[in-house]
Amino acid sequence: MSGPSMLPTFSGDASELVVEEMITHTLFPNTFLARGDLITLESPLTRGRLVCKRLIGLPGDFICIDPTGQYADASEHLRIPKGHVWVSGDNLTASRDSRVYGPVPIGLVKGRIVARVS
């Protein structure tokens, strides 16, 4: 893990390692996800780049687009379309996430973080 988007959950330096569980998602892509999970996904902005974000919303959920008001009015809400999820960095001031690129296709999700190795 590296970068500031998941501070304080992860330190942001490249020396921190995580354990990722991918088998369940590969076998059952629509059933293993839960709100609050830390997941890895291919960046919708930079194909081939793996990012880690917190899962905020599942298909059919109504979510606030941007509670900070940085990218959209804090009163704007949307319904997450079928086959998509909404993700956010824990450090909203330094994260490019669904507030920037919108709902993420479930097909871009690669796995779930299950442990941190310090």
> For 24-67, what is each residue's pLDDT tens digit?
767 776 667 899 999 999 999 988 999 999 999 999 999 999 98
Class of domain 17-58+85-117: mainly beta
Residue 13 above 80 pLDDT?
no
> For 76-112, what is each residue's pLDDT tens digit?
999 999 999 999 988 888 889 999 999 999 999 999 9
Which residues participate in catalysis according to the annotation? 5, 53
pLDDT of residue 36: 93
**Local structure of 116: helix, strand or coil:** strand
pLDDT of residue 39: 93
Q: Name the residue type at position 15.
A: S
Please state whether the predicted TM-score (pTM) of the whole model is above 0.85: yes
Which residues of 4-108 form beta strands (DSSP E)?
17-21, 38-42, 50-57, 62-64, 77-79, 84-88, 104-105
Size of the chain in residues? 118
Q: Residue 11 — pLDDT band, cuts 50, 70, 90? A: confident
Residue 15 above 80 pLDDT?
no
DSSP summary character for residue 101 = H
Domain boundaries along the sequence of the chain: 17-58+85-117
